[in-house]
Amino acid sequence: HREALAAELQPAFRRRPAAPWLAALEAEGIAAGPVNRLDQVFADPQVVAREMVVELDHPTVGRHRVLGIPVKLSATPGAVRAPAPVLGQHTEEILRELGYSAEETRAFLELTREASPKAARG
């Protein structure tokens, strides 16, 4: 009966904004909530207060918005402190952690630079 019910309710719901409907439903003890547009989601006071969207500076794309940490624990709340790394940003560090020597790391980096699409374009 969902389709039949929706066919009856949708025209009525379209006659007024969401806020009066939500207030009327809440007054009757009926659980209801809005279906927000994306701009409304990000402007919601709860989303803002919980820092669900944060702005970061990225070396290639500049200032941009990213999603924050969804679960905030009291002892370890977590935070987005840095942007995503650019391609190859941590390669040398990772190779060293894996036990490659400085010479092996330099040789690997040189090979990858020569093989990169950017190098092929000149």
What is residue 118's predicted lDDT score, i.e. its pLDDT?
Answer: 65
What is residue 112's predicted lDDT score, i.e. its pLDDT?
Answer: 85
| Domain parsing of the chain, residue ranges | 1-34, 36-84, 91-121
What is residue 45's predicted lDDT score, i.e. its pLDDT?
Answer: 96
* Cα angle value 87/92/94 (rounded, 5°): 90
Q: Which residue has the tokens 């905030």?
A: 72
Which H/E stretch holds residue 45? helix 45-49
Mean pLDDT by 10 residues, the chain (122 residues): 94 93 96 93 94 93 93 90 90 95 94 72 49
**Rounded-to-integer distance, Cα 35 and Cα 32, Å:** 10
What is residue 65's predicted lDDT score, i.e. its pLDDT?
Answer: 93
